[in-house]
Structure 1
Amino acid sequence: MSSIDERLDFSTLADLFLSHGSMQSPAFLDGRLCAELALQDLAAEAWLEEVCLGLGVEQPRDRASAETLLGWRRQALEALADSGLNYEPLLPDELFSLSERARGLQEWTLGFLEVIDDAGEAKRERWSQALREAIEDLGGLTAIETDLDDNAENENDLFALTEHARMAAMLLYTEQHPGRPQVESSEPTHH
């Protein structure tokens, strides 16, 4: 099995979703994936099951599709756990209109917050003030204006909002995984 040299991007997953008969945006599931990896170390099998449920299929069409979906989880987990703090939400890129990109951020945030809400108040009360505020601020992103004109000001605003979502995701992960990022996976395993 080869490692993924280039990052899976939004368009690749959107095409995969279409091949499974789903018009759903991968952004929503990516938001859920990020929060689930941070809160409960989501297992590969559980992720595959969740994606299939989201796509309305019993299982991926073929082995390559399953590997891509599992690669998506692995990519997100590696980025969240990486000391470079280079996690990026899976969102539409510059090939999409500003409106589509804003809608992608909105959908990502809805997925992320859905998992946070499911975590329960008791768990959230143990979080740092900074994390609780960052998550609270994300709530505002669910109501952002998505019918945007393509201009520099809107582009800058969307970048800032996306950066806030990215930082909130990394803060959630690092608080739930003390001592990380500093990925231990590079150590050899002994049998």
Structure 2
Amino acid sequence: MKKMTWLVASAAFLMTGSVVYAHGHEGAHGIKRTDAELMAVLRKAAPPAIVEHATVMNAGPDGKMKVIQEGTNGWTCMDPGVQGEGEPMCADKAAMAWAEAWQGKKPPTAAIGFMYMLAGDSGVSNTDPYDNLKETPSNNWIKTGPHVMIVGTDALPMMKGYPRAAKANPKAPYVMWPDTPYEHLMIPVN
């Protein structure tokens, strides 16, 4: 999600009700999973100890997010997915707050947050936080394999040494959405 992936992203991170991510009902991906199917997918997104004790959210029949597992570790896991693919992810409390700010087009939160997307993502613009529906010749589309993300404005000083190119190399750490309020560090893990 990077759309957060994040982005994180990244994502239907909105715990306020809808699966709306940046795409509308069903996250525009059309993926509907049973709770059991979602749990199996999420086990690929983050270490088992995270998923096992996380709050897990799934889309209900009405398209609204519902809690299917109450967590005890401060993490939230879901699959906002786009492009017909899944994007399972788990985010800590600070990353969820950052994602909610991003989705709400509000100033990003300061606290450093962490997200797992160990199953990778299906691609997003690397330069525009809100251009994530499809690749175009001008939107610097990037698809990152398995990765983790560090978000929050308190993390900005540590990002100074990382590449900030619009056409980033998704095989090495880079700053996604550079020079926007929502820039964050992408760290591939393969």
Larger RCO (CA under 8 A, 6+ residues apart) = 1
Q: Same fold (TM over 0.5)?
A: no
For the pair shown, the structure with the greater C-alpha radius of gyration is 1
Instruction: Report which of the two has the higher share of strand.
Output: 2
